Amino acid sequence: MNKVLYTLLLLALLASCQRNGKGFFKSAVQVKDTTLFAQFGFGSCQLQAAQLPLLQKADSMQLDFFVYLGDNIYSDTYKLSVLDSNYQVLAKNPDFQLLKKTTPLYAVWDDHDYGFNDSGRHYPLKKESKELFVKFWDIPSHSNRMGHDGIYGSEYLTYGDRTLQIILLDTRTFRDDLVLNKPPQKGFKNDYIPNQNPDSTFLGKAQWKWLEQELKQKADLRIIASSNQFSHEYNGWESWTNVPREQQKFVDLIAKTQANGVIFLSGDVHWGEISKMPTDVTYPLYDVTSSGITETWPNTEPNRYRIGDVIPQNNIGRIQFFYNEKDPTIVMELIDIHGVVNRHQIKLSEISFQ
């Protein structure tokens, strides 16, 4: 009788737990896992023949993918044979081979792998350079990066019920020459002053038209790989601030299309930083600059939009997207060989039109 009574009491207890939701079996079904996240890395500015320990570090992170932001090789040449040879050097680099073997790679170019230092639409080998780029990065013939001039295109990845859009810009093929700061003008510094010519372009007419359609597509988080910095303070080096009308055109386009979830990624400058630029017509525009994988610069520049420390040492970047949360957390990080050196966290709602 005691065994029967014990069994009946146990069954009653389990039933009670299931009814009130406090029991093991019920909670195991109800609890929603909010730890799921997407994570991807990015970086720029690497010498193709150098040891690349930061790529080993990226490989150890088990990233969903890695975005190269330009200056992926250093060539500075008007000879295709030199460009091709430098790509082959990188292809044989064991650290690059390690990352490529384990991690999907996306890439845009900047000047040193496009052709020549600070070059734009007047570089005479831009079509041939694209052929080498497409071959090296294994871009298939059916890709939306093909069938037009330049290397711009997009990718879409799905995580749960969230869509991640990757917009890969071409900031070289169509860009007009920048205005040199020669002789040096008061109030400006370094190589360039802002070009106020209304006809001057950064992306070119066709790429602008394509970009507007991309920003109209449904996506929760939009990563814009720009190569050049976007959301920082003018400093006289190459960036969107040198063509302010085009920079404002981009801001206005985000507002016009009501494109939520935009975060810029950039490289080029040989230091790392996270920038947050306010605008009058959109949410704050973040720009995570990771540069360089092997390259550094003797000094950094002031940036009133900077969050946290500037990172002068070699670095890569990482973004984590906790897509399973009701209001997903986005973690932006800069990482050196020892670990995370700058981190900033936001909610997706903070970069959305309310």
Inform me whether the pLDDT recorded for 6 exceeds 50. Answer: no
Chain segment 208-249, per-residue pLDDT in tens: 999 999 999 999 999 999 999 999 999 999 999 999 999 999
Residue 354 is predicted with a pLDDT of 79
Average of pLDDT values for 195-211? 96
Residue 30 is predicted with a pLDDT of 33
Q: What does the block give as tokens for 33?
A: 């896992």
For the chain, what percent of residues have pLDDT higher than 90?
90
Contact indicator for 230, 266 with CB cutoff of 8 Å: yes
Average of pLDDT values for 287-296? 98
The strand pairing partners of 158, in sequence order, are: 163
166, 155, 152, 98: which is closest to 321 by C-alpha?
166
pLDDT band at 157 (very low <50, low <70, confident <90, very high): very high
Chain segment 95-132, per-residue pLDDT in tens: 999 999 999 999 999 999 999 999 999 999 999 999 99
Inform me whether the pLDDT recorded for 10 exceeds 90. Answer: no
Residues written for the chain = 354
Contact indicator for 293, 55 with CB cutoff of 8 Å: yes
Residue 340 is predicted with a pLDDT of 98
Residue 236 is predicted with a pLDDT of 97
- Cα(333)–Cα(317) distance, integer angstroms: 6
| Fold classified for 34-351 | Purple Acid Phosphatase; chain A, domain 2 (3.60.21)
Residue 14 is predicted with a pLDDT of 37
Residue 35 is predicted with a pLDDT of 58
286, 299, 318, 288: which is closest to 66 by C-alpha?
318
Domain boundaries, the chain: 1-31, 34-351
Parallel, antiparallel, or unpaired: how do β-strands 65-68 and 38-43 relate? parallel
Residue 39 is predicted with a pLDDT of 97
Average of pLDDT values for 157-165? 97
Inform me whether the pLDDT recorded for 67 exceeds 70. Answer: yes
Residue 193 is predicted with a pLDDT of 97
- Cα(351)–Cα(354) distance, integer angstroms: 9
pTM, two decimal places: 0.90
As a dihedral over the C-alpha atoms of residue 245, residue 107, residue 301, residue 309, rounded to 10 degrees, the angle is 120
Task: List, as one string, the DSSP characters of 258-282.
Answer: T--SEEEEE--SSSEEEEEE--SSS
